Amino acid sequence: MSNKIQQTILAGVAGTSAMSVIMYVGSILGLPKMNPPKMLSLMIGFPMLIAWLMHFLIGITFAFMYAYFIVRVVKKINSKILKGVIFGVFAFIFGQIMIALLAAIFGDIPAGEDNMMLLMIGSIIGHLVFGIVVVQFIKDPVAEKSFA
């Protein structure tokens, strides 16, 4: 397994872990409780363990999307934080599209009891943290070339 693949898998696991912690802490701080694996479990009917594995596999997949495609789009941006924010917004929007598709295929999304605006804000925060963490683990190909 190449170093870039290992680095990308680690980035996906770290980003998904950070996002999950932020979502848990957010509920303690007053944001609505968010549990993407539980939502996946309820929508698709898989056990929670499988839903957690899916949650991490989705995070790893997004990390690969960044490492092999999006990194080229943001190559002129010098700030890793800004790159992470841009990637986090992309991940949030793409995630919302995928949830809508899953809802169309498997049925409605389980209804939340909380304010939808607060749920969206919490989700955006989680995805921004995910993006920032992932970008920290992925080496910038432009920076690597400048040192060669």
pLDDT per position as a tens digit, 128-139: 999 999 999 998
Q: For 111, list phi and psi in degrees, rounded to 5.
A: -65, 130
Report pLDDT for 25: 87
Write out the two tokens for 130: 């995910």
Residue 97: CB atoms within 10 Å: 10
If one compares 53 and 111, the residue with the highest pLDDT of the two is 53
- Rounded to the nearest 5 degrees, what angle is found at the Cα of 69, between the Cα atoms of 63 and 75? 100
How would you class 110 by CB atoms within 10 Å of its CB: exposed for 0-12, middle for 13-18, buried for 19 or more?
exposed
Report pLDDT for 147: 40
CA distance 98 to 27: 24
Q: Show the domain range for 60.
A: 3-147
| pLDDT tens per residue, range 15-42 | 999 999 988 888 888 777 788 888 778 7
Instruction: Give Cα 130 distance to the centre of its chain.
Output: 5
Q: How many domains, in total, are found in the chain?
A: 1
Asked if 11 contacts 3 with a C-beta cutoff of 8 angstroms, the reply is no
